[in-house]
Amino acid sequence: MATSNNIRVGIVGGAGYTAGELIRILLYHPNTTLKYVQSSSNNGQLVSSVHKDLLGETDLTFNNIDFSQVDVLFLCSGHGKSIEYLAKNEIPEHVRIIDLSHDFRLKREGNTFVYGLPELNRSTIKQASRIANPGCFATGIQLALLPLAAAGLIVDDLHVNAITGSTGAGQEPTKTSHFSWRDSNLSVYKAFEHQHLGEICESLKQAQSNFGNSLHFIPVRGNHTRGIFTIAYTRFAGTLADAKTLFADYYLSHPFVWITDENPDLKQVVNTNKCLLYLEKHGDQLMIITCIDNLLKGASGQAVQNMNLMFGLDEKAGLNLKSIAF
């Protein structure tokens, strides 16, 4: 069984970008032992043969998981795969699950997973045994809007533009993640109908029960590798000082969200679990900028943050990471 000093970890779907970042964090987490990394396509191979940045850091090989020997299971496979995996495998009651796919994020009958955005559901996460880790775009957008919703101040439509790095498309090569296409290039995709809209709107409704405004979201493919830069704006009757106080009060106890008075850039957060948040007022419109690393605060870092809360650890354990900055 787990103790606060030795949480035994298994990872399912261990060959992708999010799993690679998860492995990197957990190898040096002060309270975890990484026991198993599973990958159907790489069984028996060294983990470092796929995640080459881990050469010399671990001699683990990809193997099937003995569930009796783990305390927490991270599911890092593609969307739809987590439901399949849990249907095919009987997971013991004591094993906690953190799913990084889209499979359990939306509320529905029979879904017992808690939505794992600590800045919204921290107290519930602490008591949970099943966590649905939020999407990357969803994280950046929700952190921009939740303080307004919690104060009941979303009174008009919401407008969001966000740009993501190529790692957001996953490790499997596609036309729009190929270097020759992505380099020096930009494009819009899934305008007004991105799959993360459902979870964002559910969270805003949770925070502000009368929320019913439209959320207009334009996602953009960037020509960088990692990071999400989000720009949101909506009508706000107060002053900029009012907004800054509102946001500062909301995030006062949340260690990874930092409100800055200087217009931020993406490299300030890449390789960290931070979210930088910046506010401007233009006429009756409040503009909110958030910056996160899509692979960390938008995926694996947030998953570890959730694990820390579930096991009663310091929320920041294993996540004191420095940005690349340049």
Concatenated DSSP letters of 53-112 = GGTTT---BB----GGG-SEEEE-SPTTHHHHHHHHS---TT-EEEE-SSTT-S--TT--
| 100 lies in the same domain as 140 | no
pLDDT tens digits, 41-91: 999 999 999 999 999 999 999 999 999 999 999 999 988 899 999 999 999
Whether 155 maps to a domain, the answer reads yes
| 123 lies in the same domain as 152 | no
Domain limits at 21?
Answer: 7-133+299-310
Whether 316 maps to a domain, the answer reads no
| 128 lies in the same domain as 151 | no
Query: Which residues are catalytic, by number?
Result: 136
Count of the separate structural domains present in the chain: 2
Confidence of residue 183 (pLDDT cuts 50, 70, 90): confident
| 154 lies in the same domain as 285 | yes
Whether 148 maps to a domain, the answer reads yes
Can you tell me the mean pLDDT for 100-126?
96
Concatenated DSSP letters of 103-172 = TT-S--TT--PEE--HHHHHHHHHH-SEEEPPPHHHHHHHHHHHHHHHTT---S-EEEEEEE-GGGG-SS
Provide the CATH number for the domain around residue 61: 3.40.50.720
| 86 lies in the same domain as 181 | no
At 173 the pLDDT is 62
Whether 250 maps to a domain, the answer reads yes
Q: Name the more confident of 89 and 168.
A: 89
